[in-house]
Structure 1
């Protein structure tokens, strides 16, 4: 199990409880137990005298996921768009894809056109696949995740958003693909 986004780790299963550490997006954890909306985890990449298996603490269960880059990407919703950005202070469309896969140890190219070249085309895209956009005869210039709603992407002037496919994007949709 891994952290789907950066998340606070608490001493007790309560938001008002002391924050003892944080998990980075994609950080591996071992699940000890679950109580409702809370999960007790050990963070093995954070050695401590408190537990030889890793730093212990409680996190919101919805902050954890199996290897799910889409879950990581959703953790960036609201992040501003910054050309060339790769973090919470600002991110671009291909950076969102790159970081979301990298959080689970999957190396993918940094740029949208290279991501499209690395993807296996799919005719029936499912959530977690990628939409690729551009003008015919030109390199892919935009990428976003396929979602149940439509599209999760980082776009200038808006930032990271999940929304139904905008008409202006639909007009430049080149296809969908899946990264391994």
Structure 2
């Protein structure tokens, strides 16, 4: 599994216990045991004499995910930053955190995606004006759309009317 956000790793399954290390966004965590709210992991990219498989500890189960959509959801509420955590930057970050290399810009992501006629959560919606390059991208979700939007940051919402008017299609990366 991978961290969907920067996550403290604790010695025991209790947020008051000692913080022993931190998982970076997208960092791999090998699951050793799972409880109701906490997961015991080892972190292979953090070698340790405590465990030959990697640094051991406990993380909140909700901080781990396996898909780019999980990673993107971990960024909900983050500020929009043009050229950083903008719409295509969110997609790029989420896939990269899962070890999948995808293009950085929305138009290039659309060109690399396999078109889908029945989008599923985790697929991408592509938006723009007909005859122009794709100018916006977001994840398909059960709610509708998870995307980074100027002024509101990373949000998950039903597809707004102004976006439905410019929906060009859906695709699948990876």
Same fold at TM > 0.5: yes
Q: Which moved more, 1:50-59 or 1:25-34?
A: 25-34
Unaligned runs of 5+ in 2: none
C-alpha displacement at 1:137, in angstroms? 0.4
Per-residue deviation, residues 63-113 of structure 1 (Å, max 9, x unmatched): 1222x000000111111111101xxxxx10000000100011111000000
Aligned to 2:86: 92
The TM-score normalised by the length of structure 2 is 0.97
Find the partner of 2:170 among 145, 157, 176: 176
Equivalent residue, structure 1, for 2:34: 34
CA distance in 1 between partners of 2:65 and 2:78 (Å): 20
Runs of 4+ in 1 over 6 A off after TM superposition: none
* Mapped pair 1:103 → 2:97: yes
Say which is worse superposed, 134-143 or 19-28, in terms of deviation.
19-28
Q: In structure 2, what is the equivalent of residue 79 of structure 1?
A: 78
Once residues 119 and 10 of structure 1 are traced to their aligned partners in structure 2, the CA distance between those partners, rounded to angstroms, is 39
Say how many residue pairs are matched: 174
CA RMSD of aligned residues (A): 0.9
Compute the TM-score of the two structures, normalised by the length of structure 1: 0.94
